Amino acid sequence: MKILIIEDDTLHRAYLREAVHAALPECDTLLEAEDGMAGERMARDHRSANIIMDLQMSPRNGIEAARTIWKERPDTHILFWSNYSDEAYVRGVSRIVPDGAAYGYVLKSASDDRLKLALRAIFVESQCVIDREVRGMQRKSLAHGEGFSDSEYEVLVDIALGLTDRTIALRRNLSLRSVQNRLQQLYEKLDVYQSAGEDGEDGRFNLRTRAITVAILRKLINHSALEKADAELSHWLESFDTSQKRATRQSPGTAR
């Protein structure tokens, strides 16, 4: 059995080495990578079907690396081993898991025995293992009336990036009314509302800013999610500007 550890902390890598040797005597090859980018290369070069992956790494995090690895080899077994059960991470993992894939999400706070059981369950028995706290966040995220649809979550991230309603509409191929409807749905689910202040009708809150504050406090979005979203936005803006310039060049010129 070949196992690849993708973890940027040297002490955590050492701990995982010991856990693998204790739980999986079948493992005859143990590989290590210090970030997601190196992990992708090693998974590809060594055709590793069993991976233990941290989530928060730079310059490429675990969700991005796992997406690439699963795209190339959907049958890869991955155990996500993380400090975080934020909805941003849970949602990110849930969206990229291939149908029928055996994977796990175990918190670093879990006991040694819990980790060893998860290693055997995922890599030997091809079962899925999700920590209770993470499973609870998954249920909350998907719960009717409480969770967010993917389109609502995209708008939440877009307003966190500072985009106007019109720019969101352009980026997401929506009407302006659809964007505004999604914003109202977000406000309701986040329990963000406008109450008139003592000064009159202006109210106490900027609803967009308040929505982002509540989302961060509830761990719906985090630094890693915003960092990735900002990079995607920069790519979209570059492509959009290029297409606009091309359209301008191709349009009929003014008469001379």
Domain that holds residue 127: 2-142
Closest among 135, 89, 93, 127 to 110, alpha carbons compared: 135
Closest among 85, 200, 71 to 141, alpha carbons compared: 85
Domain boundary among 142, 162, 193: 142
Q: Are residues 81 and 25 in the same domain?
A: yes
The answer to whether 57 touches 29, Cβ cutoff 8 Å, is no
Domain boundary among 97, 113, 142: 142
Q: Are residues 48 and 164 in the same domain?
A: no
Domain with residue 41: its CATH number is: 3.40.50.2300
Total structural domains within the chain:
2
Over the stretch 53-79, which tens digit does the pLDDT of each residue have? 999 888 888 988 999 999 999 999 999
How far, in whole angstroms, is CA 198 from its chain's centroid? Answer: 41
pTM for the full predicted model: 0.63
The reported pLDDT for the residue numbered 50 is 96
Domain with residue 175: its CATH number is: 1.10.10.10
Over the stretch 124-170, which tens digit does the pLDDT of each residue have? 999 999 887 777 666 655 553 456 777 888 899 999 999 999 999 99
Domain boundary among 114, 142, 170: 142
